[in-house]
Amino acid sequence: QLQLQESGPGLVKPSETLSLTCTVSGGSISSSSYYWGWIRQPPGKGLEWIGSIYYSGSTYYNPSLKSRVTISVDTSKNQFSLKLSSVTAADTAVYYCARRGSSGWRVWGQGTTVTVSS
């Protein structure tokens, strides 16, 4: 059974770079036709798609975050990562990693809370 697990610092200072990793277990991150993505949820608010990386390595980002986001894959570790630069308090959220096939975002990590504060 495929499982995803987010990891990374829970506290990031303003203007710094948020870095998170999603470890995939029970399956290969190189499996064809899947997107691996990051989705976040600020406290008390809705879901926001941040970006995705396709199994081919192509990346796709939310236009509103594109200038600050980088998503990459490390196939040797079966992981994919998120970097969000120049963070502000508005980036405080629960960050989820998830996998999408043709049937929607079917597999999610449990989420990790990131607070931006000095």
Partner 1 sequence: SSELTQDPAVSVALGQTVRITCQGDSLRSYYASWYQQKPGQAPVLVIYGKNNRPSGIPDRFSGSSSGNTASLTITGAQAEDEADYYCNSRDSSGNHSPWVFGGGTKLTVL
Cα separations in angstroms, 89 against 12, 32, 115: 10, 36, 7
Taking the CA of residue 1 as centre, how many other CA atoms within 13 Å lie in the half-sphere pointing to its CB? Answer: 5
Of the candidates 5, 7, 19, 105, which one interacts with partner 1 according to CB under 8 A? 105
Q: To the nearest whole angstrom, how small is the minimum distance from the Cβ of residue 104 to partner 1?
A: 3
- Residue 10 lies near partner 1 (rule: CB under 8 A): no
Q: Between 8 and 111, whose beta carbon lies closer to partner 1?
A: 111
Smallest Cα–Cα separation from 17: which of 63, 92, 68?
68
Give the binding site for partner 1 (CB under 8 A). Answer: 37, 39, 46-49, 52, 54, 58, 60-63, 96, 100, 102-106, 108-111
